[in-house]
Amino acid sequence: MNRKDFKAEGEIVGGMFKATISTDSVDRDGEVMVPAGMNAKDYERNPVLLWNHDTSQPVGRAVTLKRADREIVADFEFAKRPDDFDGDWFPDYVRGLVQAKVLRGVSIGFVPMDGGERLATKGDVDKYGPDVRRVYSKWKLLEVSVVSVPANQDALITAVQKGYVTRTAVERFGRVDVPAKIERPPVRKFSIAVSVPAIGREIATRIAREEIAKARGRIVL
């Protein structure tokens, strides 16, 4: 099975996120996956979303799979925690890291179909550019995964601070030591005085807003 990595995009909304799982651009291996050549029949029977290509660790499923001329875009939904489940629910951990933008990529597992793999021809170079070395014109989609990146401790601690993931989940799955007390930036307070002559409430409000706008660069939110 071959693998290709792509970037996820957009925000998580209602437990779902969107990702481009294939394009016709030349990747870092000098290869092109032709979107029109994808065969997803087997995958669509069980459109599972895996964690890091681990078939024993599903975290969700694809709910849409849309093929355009130059890309394939999918919407994924993370598995919901059962009401009677006790402890850290791993799909929530992955969802939190995607939401916190710690994880920003997906990867597909695929195999070329008969006659669907070729060394780049002159026509391919004319179409895709001089960097193309190989073209997959017919291929079978086997699986899609959320993939990990080297752990960024600061990003993971920020994810805990913002409530995207739990402390115990990060310590268990991210293998990061989260400080017992997470220091927050000090809050700085500013007072804005506006001299209001007899000009009316509307003009006074505008002046106050202008003063606040001028001070925003000095306020830590």
pLDDT (mean) for 87-109: 82
Please give the pLDDT value at position 216: 59
- pTM reported for the whole predicted model: 0.67
3-state secondary structure the chain: CEEEEEEEEEEEECCEEEEEEEECCCCCCCEEECHHHEECHHHHHCCEEEECCEEEEEEEEEEEEEECCCEEEEEEEECCCCCCCCCCCHHHHHHHHHHCCCCCEEEEEEEECCCCEEECCHHHHHHHCCCCCEEECCEEEEEEEECCCCCCHHHHHHHHHCCCCCHHHHHHHHCCCCCCCCCCCCCCCCCCCCCCCCCCHHHHHHHHHHHHHHHHHHCCC
Q: What percent of the chain has pLDDT over 90?
A: 30
Q: In which band, very low, low, confident or very high, does the pLDDT at 131 lie, cut at 50, 70 and 90?
A: very high
Give the per-residue pLDDT at 195: 60
Residue 56 scores a pLDDT above 70: yes
Q: Band of the pLDDT at 206, cuts 50, 70, 90?
A: confident
Query: Average pLDDT in the 174-187 region?
Result: 62
Give the model's pLDDT for residue 158: 63
- Tracing tokens 């004319």 back to the chain, one arrives at 126
Distance of CA 156 to the CA centre of its chain: 15
Looking at the chain, the whole-number percentage of residues with pLDDT higher than 70 is: 70
- Bigger pLDDT: 170 vs 3: 3
Residue 50 banded pLDDT, cuts 50, 70, 90: very high
Confidence band of 21 (pLDDT split at 50, 70, 90) = confident
d(CA 4, CA 109): 7
Range of lowest pLDDT (121-125, 169-173, 204-208): 169-173
Q: Residue 221: what pLDDT? A: 37
- What's the CA gap between 75 and 216, in Å, rounded? 37
